[in-house]
Amino acid sequence: MSSRLILLALWSFCMVTCCLAQNSTVETEEEAMAYLNKYGYLDMTGGMPNTEERRRALEYFQRFANITMTGVLDDETLVMMNTPRCGMVDMNSPADMMRKKRYALGSRWSKTELTYKIINRTPDLPADEVDRIITESIEKWADVSRLTFTLVTSGDADILISFAAGSHGDDGPFDGPGGVLAHAYYPSSNAIGGDAHFDEDEDYTDASSRGINMEWVAVHEFGHSLGLGHSQIEGAVMYPYYTGYVPNFQLNSDDIAGIQAHYGENVGEPEDTPPTPVDKCMTSITMATRTLDGSTYLGNATHLYRRLTDGSIPDGYPKVIGVEFPGLPTALDAALFYPPNGKTYFFKGSQYWRFRNQRMDRGFPRPLSDWRGLPNDISSAFIWSRNGQIYFTKGDEYYRYYPGYGVLSYYPQPLSQWDGLPSDGVDAAFQWTNARTYFFKGSEYYRFNDRAVTVDQGYPINTATAWLGCDSDQLVVGPTSSPTTSPAAGDAVVLAPSMVAVLFSTIAAVFYSFQ
Ligand SMILES: *[C@@H]1O[C@H](CO)[C@@H](O)[C@H](O)[C@H]1NC(C)=O
Ligand SMILES: *[C@@H]1O[C@H](CO)[C@@H](O)[C@H](O)[C@H]1NC(C)=O
Ligand SMILES: *[C@@H]1O[C@H](CO)[C@@H](O)[C@H](O)[C@H]1NC(C)=O
Ligand SMILES: [Zn+2]
Ligand SMILES: [Zn+2]
């Protein structure tokens, strides 16, 4: 075959594929203006925009898309305009254009118990998979808000979910593969309010980087069904552009802040009342850890406090765990700050999560079996200040863990070896910034004397009083900056090398990369 023939063959192949997608591409200045008009950056009801209006609309678009604000239709802008996206507008009003980079709100439902109904399904995936993805996607919003969802199969529902190609009976016809992936309607009493439509011309996939991840599109559209607009935060699910398949994808803190601004946080109360402020003082602490930014976290199964380096607790705490650490479940078993890599690990059942400050690392949660020899459902985790090594407790036993090796062979050992700790176990433990090791049990905590290898004199002490600045009798917030009993105060150093031999033990092993 001559090279001319090959070129011809390539060209005709290209023509076919290009023409299939042509309907949704933006190439010319006019197509770009139509795009900006469609997504709310430009109002063309009064006719074609003048040069100044074009430049400003392009700048608003570039600002929203987080690309260089040139005011002209450059390549970067064209690439963005040709990225698959949601069909809803980005800008609801001119004031939107200059809003802060965060979530946007539309209308809201005046009730919190909502129903949804699946009208039809895409043939791209098995029907039960489609149903599962839809339910899991909508429940992601219930997990972090006061909303509840019930799937109905007959009668009407608040949110009707359907798949359709091209024109499908509303004023937002779909455009074939690519381009617009889906759209949904804000809450309203109109029949169409809350409904979510998916472009059937897309190739929907699950847990694959091929095609279009249906879960991401569904969570995004249901966000609109609940009254959220488009966010400018790239990691938010309400970002209008499809960003590809992400394993273990979770709502972003911006998404959670948005839905909670409309409906309040999930406080596990069934009745339909405004969110009640949480009780300020935690009576028992079951999780204690730190983050690289110097924060100390103390929490129970559902909420946590953040204590800054100066001892103060910022406004807004206690917060729901998943709001502070997006992607974390409630009722965690333990947490561990590991200074060598600056990461904070959270443990629950047979899984663990890794964070850098308040942001989860990619690819988590992972199975606890990464921590060789560690049992599921641990109680606490800490670095012991005396030797800098990692310890875990589970009930009345403890384990010593060596990075790169696993749990050392002669563990578990009875927790009663830690003189002065409650022998039936502790709820939480950590090494604090003063390099002392603290143990929490019920409403009290213990400070461990690493040299004497025993609990310091005068402990246990009421946790809420010392750490949360609460009056222990009335449990109201006191002066948080100067707790009556500073956890850092006092430093009795008594040497009593009683059972040091058991807690220590030399081991010949090299450090491998840490999980
Ligand atoms: C794009 O496709 C839709 C439906 O497939 C059709 O209604 C519309 O006219 C097309 N637009 C263009 C510019 O070809
Ligand atoms: C904008 O882009 C920069 C660089 O890609 C990124 O670091 C930043 O997080 C983006 N901003 C938003 C709001 O997503
Ligand atoms: C956790 O503490 C918060 C704040 O004091 C409280 O509202 C919540 O009920 C507690 N949760 C549990 C499971 O005890
Ligand atoms: Zn959208
Ligand atoms: Zn539609």
Q: How confident is the model at residue 127 (pLDDT cuts 50, 70, 90)?
A: very high
- pLDDT reported for residue 284: 84
Cα distances (angstroms) measured from residue 32 to each of 72, 78, 91 = 11, 8, 16
Residue with the smallest CA separation from ligand 1 atom 12 is: 23
Q: Please, which residues have CB less than 5 A from ligand 5, an ion? A: 170, 172, 197
Spatial separation of the C-alpha atoms in residues 437 and 433, rounded to whole Å: 9
Query: Using CA positions, which residue lies closest to atom 2 of ligand 1?
Result: 175
Q: Is the CB of 234 under 6 A from ligand 2?
A: yes
Taking alpha carbons only, the member of 395, 396, 413 closest to residue 499 is 413
Q: Is 66 in the pocket of ligand 2 (CB under 6 A)?
A: yes
Q: How far apart are CA 25 and CA 27, in angstroms?
A: 6
In degrees, rounded to 5, the angle at the alpha carbon of residue 234 between the alpha carbons of residues 228 and 238 is 15
- What CATH number matches the domain at 287-512, 3.40.50.300, 3.20.20.150, 2.110.10.10, 1.10.10.10? 2.110.10.10
Exactly one of 76, 136, 200, 221 is catalytic; name it: 221
How far are the Cα atoms of 51, 130, 134, 141, 183 from residue 122, in angstroms, in the given order? 43, 7, 12, 22, 15
What are 355-371's pLDDT values in tens digits?
A: 989 988 888 889 999 99
The torsion angles phi and psi of 75, rounded to 5 degrees, stand at -60, -40
Provide the residue type at 306 as one letter. Answer: R
Atom of ligand 2 nearest to the CA of 101: 13
Ligand 2 atom 12: residue of nearest CA: 233
Instruction: State yes or no: 203 annotated in a binding site.
Output: no
Helix and strand element counts for the chain (H, E): 10, 27
List Cβ neighbours of 109 (8 Å cut-off, separation of 6 or more).
147, 158, 187, 194, 226, 227, 263
In the residue annotation, 324 being an active-site residue is answered as no
**Residues 259, 260, 263, 266: is their CA dihedral positive or negative?**
positive
Whole-angstrom distance, CA of residue 382 vs CA of residue 390 = 6
- Whether 154 shows a pLDDT value over 50: the answer reads yes
| Ligand showing the shortest atom-to-Cα distance for residue 22 | 1
Q: Under CATH, domain 3-90 is a member of which superfamily?
A: PGBD-like superfamily/PGBD (1.10.101.10)
Annotated binding residue 469: no
Query: From the CA of 320, which ligand is nearest?
Result: 3
| Residue 381 assigned ligand-binding role | yes
Distance 21 CA to ligand 2 centre (A): 29
> Closest residue (by CA) to atom 13 of ligand 2?
233
DSSP string, 77-113: HHHHHTS-EESS-S-SSGGGGG--SS--B----S-SE
For residue 483 the two structure tokens come to 């707790």
List the chain domain ranges: 3-90, 113-263, 287-512
Cβ of 18: how many Cβ atoms within 10 Å? 10
**What is residue 267's predicted lDDT score, i.e. its pLDDT?**
67
Pairing mode of beta strands 180-184, 85-86: parallel
To the nearest whole number, what is the mean pLDDT of the chain?
82
Give 23 Cα–ligand 1 centroid separation in angstroms.
6
pLDDT in tens, 242-301: 988 988 889 999 999 999 999 988 765 443 444 444 456 777 888 999 998 889 999 999
Reported as a single tens digit per residue, the pLDDT across 426-478 is: 999 998 877 788 999 988 899 888 777 889 888 888 888 778 776 534 332 22
Side chain identity at residue 446, one-letter code: Y
- Contact partners, residue 17, CB within 8 Å, separation at least 6: none
Mean pLDDT of 86-103: 79
Q: How far is CA 294 from the centre of its chain?
A: 21
Centre of ligand 1 from the C-alpha of residue 340, in Å? 57
What pLDDT, in 10s, does the model give residues 395-426? 999 999 988 788 988 899 999 889 999 988 99
- Band of pLDDT at residue 100, cut at 50, 70 and 90: confident
The DSSP H or E segment spanning 192 is none
What pLDDT does 279 receive?
55
Report the distance separating Cα 24 and Cα 199, nearest Å: 12
Token duo for residue 231: 């966010």
Higher pLDDT, 372 or 500: 372
* Secondary structure letter of residue 503 according to DSSP: H
The span from the CA of 428 to the CA of 431, in Å, is: 11
- Under CATH, what is the fold of the domain 113-263? Collagenase (Catalytic Domain) (3.40.390)
Q: d(Cα 359, Cα 275) in Å, to the nearest integer?
A: 26
Taking the C-alpha atoms of residue 201 and residue 178, their distance in angstroms, rounded to an integer, is 8
Res. 308 pLDDT band, cuts 50 70 90: confident
Highest mean pLDDT among 139-148, 405-414, 500-509: 139-148
Residue 30, both tokens: 């006019």
Handedness of CA 484, 486, 490, 494 (dihedral sign): positive
* 354: β partners: 345
Q: Quick check: 290 and 354 in contact, CB under 8 A?
A: no
d(CA 300, CA 488): 22
**Cβ-proximal residues to 448 (8 Å cutoff; 6+ apart), any chain:** 385, 418, 420, 421, 436, 437, 438, 439, 454, 455, 456
At residue 2, the pLDDT reads 36
> Both tokens of residue 209?
């980087």
Average pLDDT over residues 216-221: 97
CA distance 356 to 325: 10
Q: Is 91 annotated as a binding residue?
A: no
Is 143 annotated in a binding site? The answer is no
CA of 242 to the centre of ligand 4 (A): 10
Nearest-atom index, ligand 1, CA of 165: 5
